[in-house]
């Protein structure tokens, strides 16, 4: 059987379509007012990471005192991350190799700054007061105009346990030191703001001292009515689904979540499933053909063999 080349259904994230409930919006506003990081938990796929893009977009639209960038500065935590990585990276190996090459050809010693690159929170701090910085200390280009930023620290629970505790002073005071440049100090300018959003999948507990300095919010899984609103927003005004058919599909999705043993599907998977079914014009099919398409596309929702067998037996 020939493989069909289907249309690319990937749609760039549009922050205008991100739906925040009142609890989440309140948590964002409280974190901004208290100048504390907002720590988010919730199932994977419930919109924790995308919230930072929504917040940056909303704050950038406000043409008031603070000049916010429309996109967050992003840091994706790894199991090997250290607290310094959030502020800057120093390429020690590259510096060493360049120094040896220049020495061998009789050239001068390379500048340390050429191997120092600011990272998400470090860049955000620098951008609040770029005019006061000695930019010869690092290679990262900065705009001359001061600006505020949203910083996303994604999946902080992946990091070693010492990572959050090592950030306590830096996040509270919004400053850091570049050790390789004689502990050069970079601190936040008083006229701009930095909003820090952290996400966690709760794979391990975070230290109490760190939690005390955060505003916490758990994003609950949406209700069927909220799922309907999210689906309509994400599918856009051109969708051919009726509210009734969307409600019926969301009901089937909810049953799949209830029957899944290992990995219940999340909101992001629901939207992907609905886009595929819409492309297949499921709304033009009779009940039997619809059921066949639902069963054939279960692999979008179900990610383990155990769950696939359980759901197929039900359908």
Dist CA 69 CA 149 (whole Å): 6
**Whether the Cβ atoms of residue 274 and residue 246 lie closer than 8 Å to each other:** yes
Cross-strand partners of 151: 73, 196
SS3 195: strand
Dist CA 212 CA 34 (whole Å): 13
CB burial of 71-89 (b: ≥16 within 10 Å; e: otherwise) equals ebbebebeeebebbbbbbb
- Encode pLDDT of 44-54 as tens digits: 888 999 999 99
- Encode pLDDT of 86-102 as tens digits: 999 999 998 988 878 76
- Encode pLDDT of 112-136 as tens digits: 999 999 999 999 999 999 999 999 9
The stretches of the chain forming alpha helices (DSSP H) are 22-34, 48-61, 92-104, 120-127, 162-166, 168-173, 208-211, 224-235, 243-259, 267-279, 287-296, 305-314
Strands 149-154 and 116-118: unpaired
What pLDDT score does 103 carry? 62
SS3 182: coil
pTM for the structure as a whole: 0.89
């Amino acid at each position: 059987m020939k493989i069909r080349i289907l249309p690319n259904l990937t749609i760039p994230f549009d922050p205008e379509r991100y739906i925040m409930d009142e609890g989440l919006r309140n948590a964002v506003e409280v974190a901004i007012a208290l100048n504390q990081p907002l720590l988010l938990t919730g199932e994977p796929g419930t919109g924790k990471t995308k919230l930072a893009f929504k917040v940056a977009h909303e704050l950038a639209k406000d043409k008031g005192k603070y000049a916010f960038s429309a996109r967050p500065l992003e840091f994706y935590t790894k199991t090997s991350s250290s607290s310094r990585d959030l502020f800057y990276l120093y390429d020690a190996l590259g510096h060493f190799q360049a120094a040896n090459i220049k020495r061998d050809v009789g050239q001068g010693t390379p500048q340390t700054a050429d191997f120092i690159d600011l990272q998400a929170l470090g860049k955000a701090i620098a951008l609040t007061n770029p005019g006061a910085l000695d930019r010869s200390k690092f290679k990262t280009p900065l705009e001359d105009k001061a600006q505020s930023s949203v910083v996303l620290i994604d999946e902080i629970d992946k990091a070693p346990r010492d990572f959050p505790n090592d950030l306590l002073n830096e996040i509270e005071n919004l400053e850091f030191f570049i050790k390789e440049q004689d502990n050069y100090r970079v601190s936040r300018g008083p006229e701009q703001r930095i909003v820090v959003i952290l996400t966690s999948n709760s794979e391990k507990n975070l230290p109490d001292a760190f939690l005390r300095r955060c505003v916490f919010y758990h994003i609950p899984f949406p209700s069927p009515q909220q799922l309907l609103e999210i689906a309509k927003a994400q599918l856009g005004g051109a969708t051919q689904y009726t509210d009734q058919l969307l409600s019926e599909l969301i009901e089937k999705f909810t049953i799949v979540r209830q029957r899944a043993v290992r990995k219940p599907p999340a909101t992001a998977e629901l939207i992907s499933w609905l886009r595929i079914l819409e492309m297949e014009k499921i709304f033009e099919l009779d009940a039997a053909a619809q059921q066949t398409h639902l069963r054939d596309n279960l692999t979008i929702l179900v990610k383990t063999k155990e769950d696939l067998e359980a759901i197929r037996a039900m359908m």
